[in-house]
Structure 1
């Protein structure tokens, strides 16, 4: 057993009075949170309790217990929660942060029409533009209680539209960059914890495409050595739009050679369903199925596809809000989970969820499942919160670091006040949190024990600078579009 695992076990079984024998020295504790109504989402300890926790100078939870801390427990800063709810930060297991400044485009379209509406804007972005757009999206997430995101990045490659599902011709032309590196920096500059997902645009032969990805991987690994916000790299699977099976083989090779997870937008839209379903066999033939494979959306499925995903321990990521916004359909998540598929939840593209609201996302998902099955128990409140926190961490294989309030994990948490505005008496803490609380009740957001947002005010970055940059850059892009349309 590792020293960290042993320490976590000791802290769970030792009496509170004995904690001083295993805690770090008081000088190493940066934050003490007390008088909290804790929602831990921990499968071992109670999910809810009145208690406290201590954050070490590494940004991780050093101790957590019910009741009050003893006199021997101290820290540089004390947060008296005064009976407010303290819960783990939400995880968006499927996000496109650079899309934050393009809300309101293609607003009455399904997936493909919406994508075409965004094209004239996105094709004109530079690497610097995407840095500021990603920063804008990252701050937006943090303000709304999302402390970790799986981010599909913008590759900075333009394609000529083609006919049919294969909307990208074999080779693309890179725009002025760098793109990928700037998006990594932007998320870290905002203070957002992240999994960085990079696509495999065809910029040449397969070896060139692979080399392009591995260059970004090398940059990320060096960056992450000194940046705990950077959790891991991933692949943005592109088989749904690929012209041939070579894309699946390249993704599978990178997954196996570098131990990468791969999340692929797949079986999302009700358009062109037969073409989408036929390509599932490509992933199977390439050997990509398994715990490293995540299917984003996974709506237009067959029983055989569901059975194969479950049998191989492949995963699924659910986007309740965007599925409704783009009229993509309703994935039967209840049935998927019953089949044994692990499920996470994402806020998806900020231009097709409009408000990055994880509380709304949970409720839309819960209500949809209950209505689909005419069964109020089809998606319990505790399960719904689990999927948007620890469940999402599990499918991304980052649950050793985030997803719940546990000793050894990063102290990424929210302080939520159900009394401001007042939601009434609390009969069940989980029910109040999931069903009655919202962004209006969100008081504070912490990442690694550091306060990054208070109410709607960001503390990690001067937003006036971001807004000026985004507005200026978008004005340039719009002016260029106007000239081209004359």
Structure 2
């Protein structure tokens, strides 16, 4: 298929933008890209689809996501992280079944696809959610998924008193064996769209012995690692109790390196930033989650200056309320301007890179996705500008980062296959996905005994 007449933001090495561009897809890959007139002349017999009035961008890449939590959207608003986890989210998740996990994964994937995310990193999928169901949801939908299987052996958060996990979520050191088992079963599945990762729990939830064992297996087998880190001040307190800074601790147990994505990374010293740069460790920046949970603001400009690669993530729906990475881009571009009193801090171009090529680098997939170039996978998103809220525009990058939301996504292509067309899913029944998720979310809340708690502060009549 030859897609024509679009504005194409390639994010290639030169950052070329075609104002009347075309892209030729052959099988799963990009066979040609350039001006519409040139490609029509060179490929006169190809079937064409006009994308006039659309801006094409590489498929968005979310480097931090909790697919199970989408079933709990809005169930834990306006709480601090520890209360959010211990009294609400962990309790709810501790009552999940594998069928709930599958329904949640399908809801998450549907929302991500409809809002332009073509590849995501699941941070920490617990055994009770049913990993096979998550992998099956990725396989059926056509999305790309890097799937972090939980690794843990301690059922609490950091070292605080009363910060225990719900018993339904606690796993032991055998979780590492379970993660390896899922890697052996699913890595490379769904025609290469599935990658399996270690999804380590936050320091304090994993013993140093298990971290070291996981890190050793990671290097031996090539299994990447993702982990929350330095998200809140309680994390800093834990590291200090071990006579470490966040990164000196992580370095001491072998966690750092180019196959690791650390999430949030709000509370860092200058020495931590230098260590990240030296070890080529990647960061997943989640500004909405950090703002909503009052965790703080990641030192993105300082990390950029040091040369640390930064991707973007939405985190889970209970601390963001959406899986829309386009909305996340806008906040990522604005929040650092406010706290640094500098309107040039973290410009729109930097943020689009975070959500595309930087995310691909973080996932080790930069040779196949993250930019629109010949030979790369045909993963792209068409944003419809033929709407009042999108007009006028002068810079296509500005239009994407500052004006567009997931509601403006018109088409999504992954591996050359159209997964969203005219704003509608082609591989999933949207209504069936929603209805199943609604039913199961209510059942989880009822089993948890939190029906009243999740309904908010005002009376529902």
TM category, shorter: 0.7 to 0.9
Query: Shift of residue 76 of structure 1?
Result: 6.4
Are 2:207 and 1:237 aligned? Answer: no
Q: 1:459 — aligned with what?
A: 426
User: In the alignment, is the contact (CA less than 8 A) between 2:125 and 2:199 conserved in 1?
Assistant: no
Q: TM-score under structure 1 normalisation? A: 0.83
Matches of residues 347-426 of structure 1 in structure 2 within 5 Å? Answer: 347-426=314-393
Aligned partners of 1:33 and 1:79 also within 8 Å: yes
Scaled by the length of structure 2, the TM-score of the pair is 0.87
2:115–2:407 contact (8 Å) kept in structure 1: no
Q: Does 1:129 align with 2:96?
A: no
Q: In structure 2, what is the Cα distance between the partners aligned to 1:416 and 1:317?
A: 24
Which of the residues 106, 118, 121 maps onto 2:76?
106
Q: Measure, in 2, the Cα distance between the counterparts of 1:473 and 1:204.
A: 23
1:359-390 Cα distance to aligned partner (Å, 9 max, x none): 22111111111122222221121111111111
The CA deviation at 1:77 is 4.2
Native 8 Å contact 1:32 1:77 kept in 2: yes
Equivalent in 313, 325, 336 of residue 303 of structure 2: 336
Kept in 2: contact 1:363–1:435 (CA 8 A): yes
Runs of 4+ with >6 A deviation: none
Q: Contact conserved, 2:9 with 2:15, CA < 8 A, in 1?
A: no
Partner of residue 319, structure 1: 286
Q: What residue ranges of structure 2 are gaps of 5+ in the alignment?
A: 154-169, 453-461
Higher relative contact order (CA 8 A, sep 6+): 2
Q: 1:302 aligns with which of 249, 269, 282?
A: 269
Whether 2:115 is the aligned partner of 1:144: answer: yes
Structure 1 counterpart of 2:222: 259
Following TM superposition, by how much is the alpha carbon of 1:456 offset from its aligned partner in structure 2, in angstroms? 4.5
Equivalent residue for 1:270, pick from 233, 257, 262:
233
CA contact (8 A) 1:32 1:74 kept: no
The one-character-per-residue Cα deviations of 1:101-151 (angstroms, maximum 9, x if unpaired) are: 101112011222111201222111111220111111111110111111111
Alignment CA distance shift 1:419-1:83 (3 Å) = closer
Deviation at 1:225, TM superposition (A): 4.7
- For residues 322 and 145 of structure 2, what CA distance do their matches in structure 1 show? 19
Counterpart CA distance in 1 for 2:34 and 2:69 is 40
What is the Cα deviation at residue 216 of structure 1?
0.8
Deviations 1:448-473 (A, max 9, x none): 22222245532211122222322332
CA distance in 2, matches of 1:262, 1:409: 24
Q: Does 2:44 align with 1:66?
A: no
Write the deviation string for residues 319-346 of structure 1: whole angstroms up to 9, x where unpaired: 1111111111101101101012111111
| Counterparts in 2 of 1:274 and 1:227: CA distance versus 1, 3 Å | same
Q: Residue by residue, what CA displacement relative to the aligned partner does 1:290-332 show, whole Å, maximum 9, x if unpaired? A: 2122211000111121111112221211011111111111011
Counterpart-to-counterpart distance in 2, 1:483 and 1:327: 23
For 1:483 and 1:71, the matched residues in 2 are separated by: 63
Provide closer, same or farther for how the CA distance between residues 78 and 104 of structure 1 changes in structure 2, counting only shifts above 3 A. Answer: same
Q: How many residues align?
A: 430
RMSD (CA atoms): 2.3
Identify the residue that residue 219 of structure 1 maps to in structure 2. Answer: 185
